[in-house]
C-alpha cells in the first residue's frame, strides 16, 4: 500500500491534505477521488452553489501528481431543454 494525498482546489483556494490515505493502487485512488468530489459537491449544492471547475488533485508520497479529477468528471449531468421533458 502507498500513501496518497487528496488536495482540494476550489473557488476559495487550495486545501492541502496533510494526512493522506493509504490505498492499494491507482484504481482505488480514482475511486476515492470521485467519492470525495461527490461529497464536496453535495455540500456545495446545499448552499445553492456548484462549480464544476473545482477539482481534486492527488499526489503520491514524493509529491508527484498522479491524478487530477475535475468535479465535472465525477458526475453525469443530464440537461433537459424546455419542451423536451
Q: Where are the domains of the chain?
A: 2-74
Given this model, what pLDDT does residue 85 score?
A: 63
Whole-model pTM: value is 0.87
Averaged pLDDT, groups of 10, the chain, 85 residues long: 96 92 98 97 92 96 98 90 73
- Please give the radius of gyration of the chain, using alpha carbons only, rounded to the nearest integer: 15
The strand ranges marked E within the chain are 2-10, 13-15, 21-23, 55-60, 65-70
Note the pLDDT of residue 14. 93
CB 57 within 8 Å of CB 65: yes
Can you say how many angstroms the Cα of residue 64 is from the centroid of all Cα atoms in its chain?
Answer: 17
Amino acid at each position: 500500500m502507498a500513501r496518497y494525498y487528496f488536495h482540494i482546489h476550489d473557488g476559495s483556494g487550495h486545501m492541502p491534505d496533510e494526512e493522506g490515505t493509504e490505498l492499494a493502487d491507482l484504481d482505488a485512488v480514482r475511486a476515492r477521488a470521485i467519492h470525495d468530489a461527490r461529497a464536496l459537491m453535495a455540500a456545495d449544492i446545499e448552499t445553492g452553489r456548484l462549480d464544476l471547475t473545482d477539482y481534486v488533485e492527488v499526489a503520491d508520497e514524493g509529491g508527484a501528481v498522479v491524478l487530477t479529477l475535475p468535479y465535472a468528471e465525477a458526475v453525469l449531468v443530464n440537461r433537459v431543454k424546455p419542451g423536451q421533458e
